[in-house]
Amino acid sequence: MRNHTKMIKKYFKINRRNIAIVQFIIEGYEGMATVSTIDPHTAIIKILIMPDFISEISGLIDDLKNKYKIVEINPATWNPSAPNGEGKRPPIRSRAG
C-alpha cells in the first residue's frame, strides 16, 4: 500500500527574471519540494513541499527571500489583474450560454 502524503502548498510573488534560478535551487533538493509557475506575467510561483522536509525547505526559502525578494502570498486573496498581483480575486463568471 502506498503512502499518499499530502504536500504542503505555499505561494510566492517573485521577480520574473528570478523564477528559473529559484526553481533550479529548490528542485536541486531532490524529493523535498517542487516549484510550479502559476502566472508568469505576475511572477507567482507555487512550491509543493513534502511534509517531512518542511523545516529544511522553509529555511531554504527564508535564505532565498533576501537574495531574490520572494514574498509569500495568500492564494485566496491574490488577484492577477491588480497592480503587483495583489488584492481580492475577481468573481468567477459562468461561461454557460
Catalogue all structural domains in the chain, each as residue range(s) with its CATH number: 8-78 (3.30.70.100)
pLDDT tens-digit map of 10-46 = 999 999 999 999 999 999 999 999 999 999 889 999 9
At position 53, the amino acid (one-letter code) is: F
The reported pTM is 0.75
Closest Cα to residue 19, out of 48, 52, 43? 43
Which of 32-37's residues contact partners 24+ apart within 8 Å by CB, and which partners? 32/56, 32/57, 33/57
